[in-house]
Structure 1
Amino acid sequence: MRSCLKLIFFLIKLLFLCVRYGLVFSIIPMFVVKEPTERSKIKTSIGKKLVIILPKLGPAFIKLGQILSTRGDLLGADIANSMLSLQDKLPSFAIQTVEKIFKSEFGANIEDMFLSFDQESVAAASIAQVHKAITKDGVPVAVKILRPKISKAYMDNLRVIKTFSHLVNLFVKKKKRIKINEALETLKKSSEIELDLRLEGAAAEKIKENCKRDMNLHIPKIYWQLTSKNILTSEWIDGIPINQRDKLIGANLDLNLIIEKLAVIFFNQACRDGFFHADIHPGNIIIKQNGDIAMVDFGIVCYLDYELKTFVAEVVYGFLNKDYTKIKEIHFQTGFVPKGQSEYKFELACISIGEPIVGKSLEEISLSKLLKHLFEISRDFSVTIHPELLLLHKTILTIEGTGHYLNPKINMWNLASPWIQSWAKKNLGARWKLAKLNYQKNQFINKIKHVIDNSITGSGMQKQHSPFKHHVLVIVAGLFLLIGLILGRILSSS
């Protein structure tokens, strides 16, 4: 009953925001305006209004908006491009609240645990904020603190998004329907770590261990004695944020070398280790005085299992070598493309994706159009899109955007191509093929065990709703219906 009332309250709030910021009135002209340029302006206006509205709905809506901003094939390029400016920044919560959290977590006051603690935060987002402090040993640290009651707010958001999306899809053309399970799985996977700072600390330690032999990468140390579920204390990193180009040049740092290092670091994490930083943005990448790249804020990381990791490595290597036949074979052999689809047409589609990328500078291609093309082809061939691959695409978009900002005339993947080629020859050879065969054998055995287990297990009974709850659900459905008509119109006309 309480959850139903929360849904009603949320829907009323959403309708109020749509009216207050003029979203409803921006949609009306789309019913009558047919001229492409004017429709593009209207859609851009809708995207800008969504950038204002989504942060007011809750933390999960900000994350959802950031994911959907890379999906021009769903929202339309104009709306998606406008939403790229969606920032996860909120006002800081008071130092008195911070003190209460410390008392609750450690049973001690801040002054008992630190030599000094800055009252003003250096960064504040929807999930947490960060303060600079000095430990009792005189070491500068970054202290990250979760917002009060953020876990509950995030999970409430996810439940609303799931219910809401099912209704919106009723009013959208089949080809434009949102595969909400993809986005929800992405949000759920990221929230598991983001909402428990002990896990974020563990993720940082895992990447640090994976990359301990890698040059040019620095992962901050975690101070576990000053860390809990709601507080994470890590090494303070001095340096220049990667988005401050003029300062990097002023420090005599080689921008092209930074781009190459960034590409190699990403490739190592994603294709070699299968565990990568999935919340890359300029605020999370700091260039140290010696030119090393430091990564911070591991609230969103992505794990690629053996199959996905090797799939990504083979596909990247295939595109770099323009081996489109190999790329096609990988997609069909792994089952990413279902049987019955045309292998010949899929290979042509791969060529249409690869040729604009390989050998060209980032200045000559539009990343939003490229991603739209990728996802459109995925839909046309019923390609399975794993939630992890959505995070991978989002990360690649950000990394390439950073490379473009530092030097628009350099293609970072071509710059790192010799290293990637060398790695692939060593790791995609005969030994790798034997490991892959062994993995496939184990997977086959596990599937047989799963079938046997399922054959001897029963199913539970479904719960029945009370008559009163049924009436409340009718009210919720009515509110969803009204809002679904609005958003359904946006998606169908994009």
Structure 2
Amino acid sequence: MMRRFLQNGLKPEEKIYLGNTLTYKRLMLKMIATFFRLLRTAWVLIRHDSLVPVEYAPLVPLPLRIIGFISRIFSIGNRKGNAGERFANALEDLGPAYIKFGQILSTRGDMFDAEFAEGLSRLKDKVPPFSMDKAEKTLAVEWGAPWSKHLKSLSQPVAAASVAQVHKGELHNGEIVAVKVLRPNIVQRMTKDMDAIALVASLAHTAIPKLRRLRPKAFVAEARRAVMLELDLRLEAAGQSELAEIAEETGLFRVPKIHWDLIGKNILVSEWIDGIALSSPDILAQPETIKQNLARQVIQSFLASTFEYGVFHADMHEGNLIVDNDGKLVLIDFGILGRLGDAEIRFEIDTLYGFLQRDYYKIAKVHFDIGYVPPHHKIEDFASALRAVGEPIFGKKAEDVSMAKVLMQLLEITELFDMEMQPQLILLQKTMMQAEGVARRLDPSFDMWEASRPIVEKAVRRELGPERYINDFLDGLDRTRKTLQTLPDATDNIAKLAKAWAEGEIDLSGVQQPEKPKSSILRPVAYLGAGAVIALGSAWAAGAF
């Protein structure tokens, strides 16, 4: 039984060697250490009434309700705010790893109600900086020499987050740079804390049947992957370089120049940007024309990256956006990038075009064709549900349409249609809401639809024009060529199998057909830009027609 319990959170390679006594003992020790970290986590959650929040007590089994009732005795004085805000406070107390996990958790609007998600959205990525001595030691290890070999000066930390902190430095040639240094031991700490979080997810999956449709274990695995990728600054530099190329081609935004010769796993050095962060109160004191221009740049840079290149900055909150001294929008912090394949981009464009025509059946068919809606549902029913979302916002001004509200309504409706989770589309949804929020903060009367029109029209022409069908034809020819290349080998293998069967060397009579996986009654919805597309298409159509 213990071995089966251990296997719940193991990696495939760990499961293979579980029978080894030494490996088993190590895993036992790991589980014990994780258990004690879990106790600490539980205590902090209890202090903030976040273990079994009073708002959600009626939704859990009776034993957990009793535990929640008892735990609230110890949370007196820490019950400020709603459940989401209290949970965010608890994560901040638990430290950097939990803060990062909370930020990822805030992208899963399909898992929580709107109030809880709103409470999580205020989670700030601000933690105390680590010492200069530790920063200098990291630089020396990465560069193989004291930092003074490459830098004339290095400031105290000017910004600190859960994963890294930033220093202002000066190269020997006089150029000012931003030096990003990963937190010491952050990889080990993240790994251990994610183990504890994974254990919580496993226990929740077992103890609370209603949570199983939200696939908590799968989400934690997804969060672990995203977190661990952020812990290699070489990968962040690669993402920064990729977006820099897009910035240069579109001319809509700017990305700091990278100093590749100074990049390491724990170090990232790039151009220092003088300007005002969009999170600063000073930005609201700028002239209206500047704020309106910035709002337009935020929306257009996001849409152009997404529709034209299939890659976008996936954390476009105000702190990662700066207006430089020339009034240009500058993006920073590229730890998380979102990516869409050709099929997903085409899906968005087809859906948008359908909404422009108010052709809900066409939109529904696109969803069925790509496989986002299981075939046991009816296209007509889904089309009717989409109409319920789209029609109420047709003809309304853009400032009267809340992207977040549309997305939440869409999530509620599409949950009824058992839509499969699409992680890359969750990220798109979250980033779209972030970009909208930034633009509206800069200019409450900002018409994001009019600002979006040039980008969207270009994408529609490309995806619905002859170029799309020519590319499809060429792709089809390429797939046919590859199939013909492999056909002789496949035919030879079939012939060998048939000969071995005929000669009695193998017996296929006892081979059992694999069971088809059972689809869950309610699968979690991770719905992308269709919500954005609905609002965008309807508002645009209102102006076009």
Q: Shorter-chain-normalised TM-score: which range? A: 0.7 to 0.9
What's the counterpart of residue 146 of structure 2? Answer: 109
Residue 44 to residue 372, structure 1, CA distance change in 2 (3 Å): farther
Kindly indicate whether the alpha-carbon contact (under 8 Å) linking 1:404 and 1:410 is maintained by their aligned counterparts in 2: yes
Q: Shift of the alpha carbon at 1:273?
A: 0.6
Q: Shift of the alpha carbon at 1:134?
A: 0.9
**Distance between the aligned counterparts of 2:473 and 2:29, measured in 1?**
52
| Code of the aligned partner of 1:75 | F
Residue 125 to residue 319, structure 1, CA distance change in 2 (3 Å): farther
What's the counterpart of residue 76 of structure 1? Answer: 113
**Distance between the aligned counterparts of 1:441 and 1:44, measured in 2?**
59
Aligned residues: 446
| Uncovered stretches (5+) of structure 2, i.e. residues with no partner | 1-27, 60-78, 495-545
Q: How does 1:225-374 map to 2 (within 5 A)?
A: 225-244=261-280, 247=283, 250=286, 253-320=289-356, 322-356=358-392, 360-361=396-397, 363-374=399-410
Asked which structure has the greater RCO (Cα within 8 Å, sep 6+), the reply is 1
**Distance between the aligned counterparts of 1:348 and 1:443, measured in 2?**
37
Q: Secondary structure at the match of 1:279?
A: coil
| Code of the aligned partner of 1:109 | P
What's the counterpart of residue 214 of structure 2? Answer: 178
Check if 1:45 corresponds to 2:77: no
What's the counterpart of residue 424 of structure 2? Answer: 388
Kindly indicate whether the alpha-carbon contact (under 8 Å) linking 1:353 and 1:374 is maintained by their aligned counterparts in 2: yes
Q: For 1:397, which of 418, 421, 433 is the aligned residue? A: 433
What's the counterpart of residue 130 of structure 2? Answer: 93
Kindly indicate whether the alpha-carbon contact (under 8 Å) linking 1:245 and 1:406 is maintained by their aligned counterparts in 2: no
Q: Shift of the alpha carbon at 1:190?
A: 2.9
What's the counterpart of residue 2 of structure 1? Answer: 29
| Code of the aligned partner of 2:296 | E
Residue 12 to residue 385, structure 1, CA distance change in 2 (3 Å): same
Residue 109 to residue 313, structure 1, CA distance change in 2 (3 Å): farther
Q: Shift of the alpha carbon at 1:103?
A: 1.3
| Uncovered stretches (5+) of structure 1, i.e. residues with no partner | 33-41, 457-494
What's the counterpart of residue 12 of structure 1? Answer: 39
RMSD value, Cα:
3.3
Q: For 1:219, which of 255, 259, 262 is the aligned residue? A: 255
Q: Secondary structure at the match of 1:212?
A: helix
**Post-superposition CA distance 1:298-326 (Å, at most 9, x none):** 01112222222322333344445544333
Q: Shift of the alpha carbon at 1:140?
A: 0.9
What's the counterpart of residue 152 of structure 1? Answer: 188
| Code of the aligned partner of 1:82 | G
Q: Shift of the alpha carbon at 1:219?
A: 0.9
Kindly indicate whether the alpha-carbon contact (under 8 Å) linking 2:38 and 2:196 is maintained by their aligned counterparts in 1: no
Q: Which moved more, 1:63-72 or 1:212-221?
A: 63-72
Residue 181 to residue 281, structure 1, CA distance change in 2 (3 Å): same
What's the counterpart of residue 196 of structure 1? Answer: 232
Q: Secondary structure at the match of 2:82?
A: helix
What TM-score, normalized to structure 2? 0.73
Q: Shift of the alpha carbon at 1:44?
A: 5.1
What TM-score, normalized to structure 1? 0.80
Percent sequence identity over aligned pairs? 33
Give the greater-gyration-radius structure (CA): 2
| Code of the aligned partner of 2:180 | K
Kindly indicate whether the alpha-carbon contact (under 8 Å) linking 1:311 and 1:330 is maintained by their aligned counterparts in 2: yes
